[in-house]
Structure 1
Amino acid sequence: MKVTVNGTVIAESDETKVVENNHYFPPSSVKKELFTDSSTSTVCPWKGTASYYNAEVGGETINDIAWYYPDAKEKAKNIEGYVAFYKTKVQIE
């Protein structure tokens, strides 16, 4: 799987995990140099509290482009630290 923004690859992996129709990418497969922490967080009843990333791609800042669970609940431990992307803000193929 590959995530791009306007032709720039920001994540790529053969080892994503699919949860609720979202591909979660291993942290090592994400180009961290393009990301900064967002102040946004949300809570999922079974996965836990999600933290968000903003990305700087091609001179454009894209807020809350991705999310991850830094301390996932027990049922979601398999995706702890993995990064998922908003399909409306990126291309996933």
Structure 2
Amino acid sequence: MSDPHDGHAPRPPESVWDYPRPPIVQPDDRHVVVRHRGVTLADSRACRRVLETSHPPVFYVPRDDVRTDLLSRSPTGTFCEWKGTATHWTLVLGPETVPDAAWSYEAPSPRYRCLAGHLAFYPARVELCTVDGEPVRAQPGDFYGGWITAEIRGPFKGGAGTAGW
């Protein structure tokens, strides 16, 4: 049976426990859209998807496909043992600000150099993220930014009591 949103066959199930550690990056040509308050923040068919054990995938959108004019650099900084130091971005839509709505690796570690020039959005901090028209569910917790779609199977790290996994 075809997916009513994109005309493609459903994707086979993926268990996050089959994803590798350290994570891998895959190109993904599905149609990714990020919106907030009716404004399209990102629209791309040239994303990169990061897959890591116990985490739903994170979609990284090429900067050229993002409304970077609506983002301002945040003072927040985080560090990934694999990818390096992340820069966080605050969404500014008129009088509304959404702190740390997105992040990027401006100078990622060599193994993840392909993520330079891409931004990832926290689906819990914006109104809507879709993959081929399917609304994304946000990964539990406030630290990780995984995108859960119909084919993704857990349990997922990020919710209460999962920090030690």
Q: TM-score range by the shorter chain?
A: over 0.9
The residue aligned with 1:92 is 129
- Is the contact between residue 40 and residue 52 of structure 1 (CA under 8 Å) also seen in structure 2? yes
Deviation at 1:6, TM superposition (A): 2.0
Choose from 105, 108, 111 the match for 1:69. Answer: 105
User: 3-state SS of the aligned residue for 1:33?
Assistant: helix
Q: Distance in 1 between matches of 2:58 and 2:74?
A: 20
**For residues 44-69 of structure 1, what are the alpha-carbon distances to aligned partners after superposition, in whole Å with 9 as ceiling and x for unaligned?**
00100000110112531000000000
User: 3-state SS of the aligned residue for 2:69?
Assistant: helix
- Number of aligned positions between the proteins: 93
Q: Distance in 2 between matches of 1:69 and 1:75?
A: 12
The residue aligned with 2:118 is 82
Q: Distance in 2 between matches of 1:7 and 1:58?
A: 13
- Structure 2: where are the runs of 5+ without partners? 1-31, 52-56, 131-165
Choose from 41, 50, 68 the match for 1:19. Answer: 50
**For residues 1-22 of structure 1, what are the alpha-carbon distances to aligned partners after superposition, in whole Å with 9 as ceiling and x for unaligned?**
1000122101111001011311
Q: Identity, % of aligned pairs?
A: 32
Q: Distance in 2 between matches of 1:81 and 1:71?
A: 9
Bigger CA radius of gyration: 2
Instruction: Please report the RMSD computed on the Cα atoms of aligned residues, expressed in angstroms.
Output: 1.0
Paired AA for residue 119 in structure 2: V
TM-score (norm 1): 0.94
- Is the contact between residue 65 and residue 85 of structure 1 (CA under 8 Å) also seen in structure 2? yes
**For residues 19-60 of structure 1, what are the alpha-carbon distances to aligned partners after superposition, in whole Å with 9 as ceiling and x for unaligned?**
131110001111111111101110000100000110112531
Q: Which runs of 4+ in 1 moved over 4 A?
A: none
Q: Which moved more, 1:15-24 or 1:53-62?
A: 53-62
The residue aligned with 2:77 is 41
Q: Distance in 1 between matches of 2:117 and 2:62?
A: 7
The residue aligned with 1:31 is 67
